[in-house]
């Protein structure tokens, strides 16, 4: 399958102290890579393999966001969600694109590259490191809640930003039974199973406590938090943490 644009854009609080599992501080935040992919796309497996390799690196947060629009080709993607598809369409609108495509990697919310072109992906990562803002984020989990603490940036001229909460499945393997990838076994890392906006950040420190009861949905074993200018602009903060002490990131 060629890479072709096909779609037009048309309070709870819980005190958590002794059982908290903190995310270790990193010297510099990770560059966020969002791979939009599909099990029904024959061009996607090389990009999936690249995302797997990138997910092992400490300098990037590589996420896989399977989309739904290739389900029409004879195989319904077992990991895809409409939320992922809506997010990709919103990026297309924000970047002035005429449509969406797979495999696409959106880099830190500001640029996109074909997800299988490793040289271009590496160049985009390097460009972001040279022009990176970092909002400090601390995450901790307890049996009852996810605790999010977001700091401030020194700069005062900051647009309002959206705080996104992502439920992430660390590993998945799928045997494809039909469609363009029929007969293949595809492996995935850091699959986004669900995402939602949980707060608006205005440049000042905030804390959020999300009860586990508010985090039901498809299976996941990590959570990621992104702070993103406006809703689909530049990402200025990112952290991921496992939902148990053995799954810390």
The verdict on residue 6 lying in a domain is no
The verdict on residue 65 lying in a domain is yes
The verdict on residue 175 lying in a domain is yes
Choose among 28, 55, 24, 69: nearest CA to 168: 55
The verdict on residue 17 lying in a domain is no
- Look at the chain and report how many structural domains it folds into: 1
pLDDT at residue 153, as a whole number: 80
The verdict on residue 139 lying in a domain is yes
The verdict on residue 195 lying in a domain is yes
Report the SS3 class of residue 115: coil
The verdict on residue 10 lying in a domain is no
Structure tokens at 76: 């319904």
Domain span including residue 68: 31-247
Tell me the pLDDT tens digit for each residue of 206-247.
999 999 877 777 899 999 999 999 999 999 999 999 986 333
Average of per-residue pLDDT values in the chain:
87
pTM: 0.86
- Name 82's Cβ contacts closer than 8 Å, sequence gap at least 6: 68
The verdict on residue 36 lying in a domain is yes
Choose among 156, 187, 149: nearest CA to 64: 187
Tell me the pLDDT tens digit for each residue of 33-59.
999 999 999 999 999 999 999 999 999
Tell me the pLDDT tens digit for each residue of 60-116.
999 999 999 999 999 999 999 999 999 999 999 999 999 999 999 999 999 999 999
Helix ranges restricted to H, 7-129: 44-54, 82-94, 118-129
């Amino acid at each position: 399958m060629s890479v072709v644009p096909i779609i037009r854009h048309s309070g709870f609080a819980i005190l958590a102290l002794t059982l908290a599992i903190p995310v270790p501080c990193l010297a510099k935040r990770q560059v966020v890579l969002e791979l939009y992919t599909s099990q029904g796309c024959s061009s996607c497996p090389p990009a999936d393999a690249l995302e797997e390799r990138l997910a092992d690196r400490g300098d990037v947060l590589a996420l896989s966001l399977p989309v739904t629009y290739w389900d029409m080709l004879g195989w319904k993607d077992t990991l895809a969600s409409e939320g992922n598809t809506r997010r990709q369409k919103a990026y297309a609108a924000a970047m002035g694109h005429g449509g969406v495509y797979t495999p696409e990697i959106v880099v830190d919310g500001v640029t996109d590259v074909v997800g299988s072109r490793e040289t271009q992906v590496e160049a985009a990562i390097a460009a972001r490191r040279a022009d990176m803002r970092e909002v400090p984020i601390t995450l901790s989990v307890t049996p009852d809640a996810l605790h999010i603490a977001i700091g401030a940036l020194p700069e005062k001229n900051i647009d309002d930003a959206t705080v996104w909460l992502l439920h992430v499945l660390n590993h998945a393997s799928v045997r494809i039974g039909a469609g363009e990838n029929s007969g293949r076994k595809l492996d995935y890392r850091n699959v986004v199973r669900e995402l939602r906006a949980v707060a608006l950040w205005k440049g000042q420190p905030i804390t959020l406590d999300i009860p586990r009861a508010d985090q039901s949905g498809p299976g996941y074993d990590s959570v990621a938090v992104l702070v993103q200018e406006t809703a689909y602009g530049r990402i200025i903060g990112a952290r991921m943490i496992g939902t148990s002490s053995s799954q810390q990131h």
